[in-house]
Amino acid sequence: MTVEVRLPTVLRQHANGEKSVMEEGATIGEVLSNLSQHFPGMNDQLLTASGELHKFVNVYLNDDDVRYLDKLDTKVEETDVISILPAVAGGDV
């Protein structure tokens, strides 16, 4: 299954400047694994050494944070869009 993966500005340098790419996989984990194979510079940006999502990376399936679904085991469909967003840390207001 092929889905659209939208990339934040900080990751586009690893994907030839593309704002989004089409990637294959049946789950979020498979899509991210394939993405990392096609664009090796992304792997360390997305996943920890143990294969979990980095705390500072948010991954959404359509409008849902995958951490509240089945994480990397979340299933994807042809019409789904995966968005990768850097976590935003707050400061003093």
SS3 (DSSP) at 85: strand
pTM: 0.90
Spell out the per-residue pLDDT of the chain, length 93, in tens.
999 999 999 999 999 999 999 999 999 999 999 999 999 989 889 999 898 999 899 999 999 999 999 999 999 999 999 999 988 765 565
Measured distance CA(7)–CA(43) in Å, rounded:
13
The third-level CATH classification (topology) of the domain covering 2-86 is Ubiquitin-like (UB roll) (3.10.20)
What pLDDT, on a 0 to 100 scale, did the predictor assign at position 83? 98
pLDDT at residue number 30: 96
Here the tokens at position 20 are 């989004």
